[in-house]
Amino acid sequence: MAAQSAVQGRQGGGGVREQEIAVEQRHLDRVYRRLEDKIHEVEFLMSDAAQRGHVGTPGALAERDAQVYRASVHLNRLNSEFEDFLFGRIDLLRGKDGKKGSDGAYTSVDPADDAIRADATADIAETLHIGRIGVLDTDYSPLVIDWRAPAAAPFYRSTPVAPGRVVRRRVIRSKGRRVLGVEDDLLRPELTTGLPVVGDGALMAALGQARTHTMRDIVASIQAEQDMVIRAPAASVTEVTGGPGTGKTAVALHRAAYLLYQDRRRYSGGILCVSPTPLLVAYTEGVLPSLGEEGQVAIRALGSLVDGVTAELYDEPAVARVKGSLRMQKVLRNAARGCLELAPGAPETLRVVAFGRRLELSATELAAVRRAALGGTAPVNLMRPRARRLLLDALWRRTGRRFDDTELAAEERQGFDEDITTEQDFTDFLDAWWPLLEPRTVLAALADERRLARWSRRVLTPPEVRKVARSLRREGVSTHDVALLDELAALLGPLPRPKRREADPLDQLTGLEEVTTYADRLEGGRRGRADRLEEERTEYAHVIVDEAQDLTPMQWRMVGRRGRTATWTIVGDPAQSSWSDVDEAAQARDEALGSRPRRRFTLTVNYRNPAEIADVASTVLALAMPGTEPPRAVRTTGVAPRYEVAGADLGADVRAAAARLLSEVDGTVGVVVAMGRRAQARGWIEGLGERVVALGSLEAKGLEYDATLVVSPAEIAEESPAGLRVLYVALTRATQRLAVLSTPLDTPDSAGIPDLLLP
Ligand SMILES: Nc1ncnc2c1ncn2[C@@H]1O[C@H](COP(=O)(O)OP(=O)(O)OP(=O)(O)O)[C@@H](O)[C@H]1O
C-alpha cells in the first residue's frame, strides 16, 4: 500500500503540473463562458427595463426598478468576482446514502460502505470546484460552489485524520482568466484512485508569501478548527480565544461573510465589526470586499464608533484606567445634571407677568423644581418638557387662584399656560435655565478640576481627578473619551434634529441612466457607501468584537448599546490584553452580554510566526501570564531572531537595523517602539520607503509584518502595568524575521539578549 501511495504521491515535476494546470484552465474557461452568458442576460434585462421607460402602474414601475436594481448589483458582483474567484476543488468518494442536495452535490459527509474496494482502490464519484460565488451551468449542475455553501464545507473540514469523502483537496491559483498553479493535499494517501498530486500543500504556500500593508482573505486555505468557528450557527454569543496568529481576525471576518450568505435577510440589519485601532481597520478593510461582501458590514475603530468624532489622542495608562472603569458612570451622571447649572448667563430667578401682575420664582424655588424634574432616570434633555411643566405649576400656584368649577379651572389654567409659554421672557429663561446639552459640552466641563472633584466626590481620588481633568484639557479626544461621549449621549438623550432624507437606492432609480449611476457608485464609491451605512445605523443585527481582551468596561457599554438585540462574535486573547485589570474588563463584558448563552471555541495553531519567533514570545508569555499555553507554530524558517545592542545613537542604530531587515525580506517591516517614542521613531526611519513603518507598542495590535524590529523590550514592558502583555504582542507580529535592539535598560547578556527574553 505504501508503495502505491508513493507512486501516486507528490508529482511536482513539470509534466504532471502542466497537465493539471491545463485541466483546471479548461474548467475555468467553461466557467467564464457561462458567466459571460449570465452577464448578457442581466444586461438585456436592464436595457429592456430602460426601453419600457415609465409606462405602467406605480406598482409595476416599483417592481421593475427593484428588478433593475438587483440586476445591477448582480452585474457588479459578477464583474468584480472575475478576479481569482475560483480557487478550490475537491475530489470525493460516493456519499453514504447516495442522495444529492439542491446544489447537485452528494449530501452525505461519509463515504458509501462500498466506495472503497477491498484492494484499497476507489473511484472518484464527484468533483466540486469552490469559488467566491456559486455558478450553475445551464442544466443547473454546479460549475462553482460558493465557499459558504454546505457542499463546500468538506473542502475546509477534511483532514487526513477525518477525511470524510474527500480524497484530494486542491487549491487553484489564478489571475484573471489564467490558471497559474495548483497545490494539492492528499487526504486519503492509502487509496489508489489514479489522482495526481501536485505541490507542497496550499497552506504552507500561503503562509510563506510576503506581506503587504493589507490583510488577505484566507478563503483558499481555511483550516478545519477555523472552519468550525466560521460556520458555527449564529448562537447568541460565539466566543473565540486563541493566541497570536491563530487567525482570530481572519476567522471573524470570514464569519461575517458566512452569516450574510446564510441569512441575508436577517443580517440586512447590518454587521458591525469593532477593531481596537484605525490601523487595524485599514489593514483588514479589504478582506470582505474580496469575499464579495461589504455593504452590510461596517468595520469601525473603537475611537470612531460615535458619529462625528474621531479619536486621535492616547491616554497614559493611569488615565485610561480611570476613564475606562465603571466608576465613570456615576461621575458622568452627576456631570450631565450638574452642567445644567453652568449655562453662561443663566438667570437666578424667574419673573413673568400674568393676570396683570408680576410672578416670581426665587433661586431656592427654582432649585426645588430642578430637583423634582431630575428625579427620574430619563435622559436630561428629554426632561426639559417636564421641567417646563413644573415651572408652570409653580407659577400657577403663585397666582393664588382657586376655582370650584373644575371645567372652568382647567380652562383658566390652559389660558394661563398659553400666555406664559408664548412670553419671550419665559422661553428665554427656559433656554438658559435648562439648556439642551451636547455630550462634548459636558465632557469639556469635566476638564475643570474643581468641578470634576465635585461631580466625582467619593468616586475618584484627588490624584485621579487631577490627571483626568488635565487629559481633558488637551485639544482633541482620546479613544477612551469616545466611550465617555457615548455614555453621555445616552445620559443626555438626543437633541431635536432637522429631518434628513433617507438615501434608499430604490427611491432614486427610475431607469437605466440611474442604474448606471448607481452601478458606478457601487464600483467607484465603495468607501462613500460604507460611510453612509455606518452613519445611518446605531443598532446592528450582529456585532463582531476583535481584540476583545482590550475593551474597557466603558467601551463594552458603548459597544453593547449597538447590539442590544444582536447576535455576537467575540474574538480575543487575554494574554495580549493591554487593560491592566483583566478581571474588571471580563466583568464588564459579562454585563454587556448579559445572560445570553455562549458558545466557546479555542484556536490552537499559530499561522503567523515561525517557531523560532514563537519560542522567544513564549518566554515573555510565561512572565506575563504564567501557565498560559502558547499556540503551536506550524512553520520553521531556520532563521533565529537577531539581537543587537544599541550604542550612543539609538536613532541611527534603529535606522540601520530597519534598513537591514528591508534588505532581507520582500514585504513589510514594522519597527515597534514604546508609545512614548512614536514620533521620534517615525523620524528615525524617514526616507527608508513605504515598506517600513514605525509604531507604538499599542498600535501594533492585530497587525503583521514580514519582519519586525522590537526596540527596547524593557521600555515597552515598563510603560504600563500591562507592559509584559503589550511586549508579547510586539514580539508576535513577524511572519519571517525578528530583530531586537536593546538599550542599557534591557540589561542584555553577552550575546545581546535582553534580560526579559532570556529563556
Ligand atoms: N488558514 C489560513 N490560511 C492562510 N493563512 C492564514 C490562515 N489562518 C491564518 N492565516 C494568516 O495568519 C496570520 C494571522 O492571522 P490573524 O491576524 O487573523 O490572527 P489573530 O489570531 O487575529 O492574531 P493576533 O491575535 O496576533 O492579532 C494572517 O496573515 C492570516 O492571513
Q: How far is CA 596 from CA 154, 262, 591, 599, in A?
A: 31, 21, 10, 10
C-alpha cell at 59: 406598482
pLDDT 10s digits, 134-183:
888 888 888 999 888 888 999 988 887 789 999 999 989 887 788 988 88
Q: Please tell me the predicted confidence (pLDDT) of residue 353.
A: 84
Return binding residues.
242-249
**Amino acid, res. 588:** A
Is the shortest distance between the CB of 230 and ligand 1 below 6 Å? no
Q: Is 162 helix (H, G, I), strand (E, B) or coil?
A: coil
Is the shortest distance between the CB of 607 and ligand 1 below 6 Å? yes
pLDDT 10s digits, 527-546:
444 444 444 567 899 999 99
Q: Please tell me the predicted confidence (pLDDT) of residue 649.
A: 96
Give the phi and the psi of residue 686 in degrees, each rounded to 5.
-55, 135
Ligand 1 centroid–CA 251 distance in Å is 8
Closest-CA residue to 249 (of 526, 576, 559): 576
Q: Using DSSP bridges, classify how beta strands 598-603 and 237-242 pair: parallel, antiparallel or unpaired.
A: parallel
Q: Going by C-beta distance under 8 Å and a sequence separation of 6 or more, which residues neighbour residue 235?
A: 567, 597, 598, 599
- The best mutation among 215, 216, 249, 291 to test binding of ligand 1, ranked by most ligand atoms within 8 Å of the C-beta, falls on 249
If you ran DSSP here, which 8-state letter would residue 285 be given?
A: T
Helix 58-81 crosses helix 512-524 at what angle (to 10 degrees)?
30
Strand ranges inside 563-631, DSSP E:
567-572, 598-603, 605-610
Angle at alpha carbon of residue 561, lines to 558 and 565, rounded to 5°: 145
C-alpha cell at 710: 522590537
**Amino acid, res. 520:** D
Q: Please tell me the predicted confidence (pLDDT) of residue 671.
A: 98
Q: Please tell me the predicted confidence (pLDDT) of residue 31.
A: 87
Q: Please tell me the predicted confidence (pLDDT) of residue 499.
A: 46
Distance of CA 626 to the CA centre of its chain: 29
Q: Going by C-beta distance under 8 Å and a sequence separation of 6 or more, which residues neighbour residue 539?
A: 269, 561, 562, 563, 564, 565, 566
Q: Going by C-beta distance under 8 Å and a sequence separation of 6 or more, which residues neighbour residue 458?
A: none
**How long is the chain?**
759
Q: Please tell me the predicted confidence (pLDDT) of residue 341.
A: 82
- The best mutation among 222, 546, 608, 621 to test binding of ligand 1, ranked by most ligand atoms within 8 Å of the C-beta, falls on 608
Dist. CA 152–CA 32, nearest whole Å: 20
Q: How far is CA 147 from CA 128, 175, 266, 456, in A?
A: 11, 18, 20, 54
Ligand 1 centroid–CA 605 distance in Å is 10
**Amino acid, res. 612:** E
**Amino acid, res. 444:** A
Give the sign of the dihedral formed by CA 122, CA 124, CA 126, CA 127.
positive
Dist. CA 284–CA 281, nearest whole Å: 5
Return binding residues for ATP.
242-249
Is the shortest distance between the CB of 325 and ligand 1 below 6 Å? no
Q: Which residues of the chain have pLDDT under 70?
A: 1-14, 42, 45-46, 49-84, 200-202, 205, 294, 344, 496-537
Is the shortest distance between the CB of 613 and ligand 1 below 6 Å? no
Give the phi and the psi of residue 703 in degrees, each rounded to 5.
-90, 170
N- to C-terminal Cα distance for the chain? 45
Q: How far is CA 450 from CA 315, 447, 519, in A?
A: 21, 9, 57
ipTM of the assembly?
A: 0.99
CB 192 within 8 A of CB 4: yes
CB 372 within 8 A of CB 390: yes
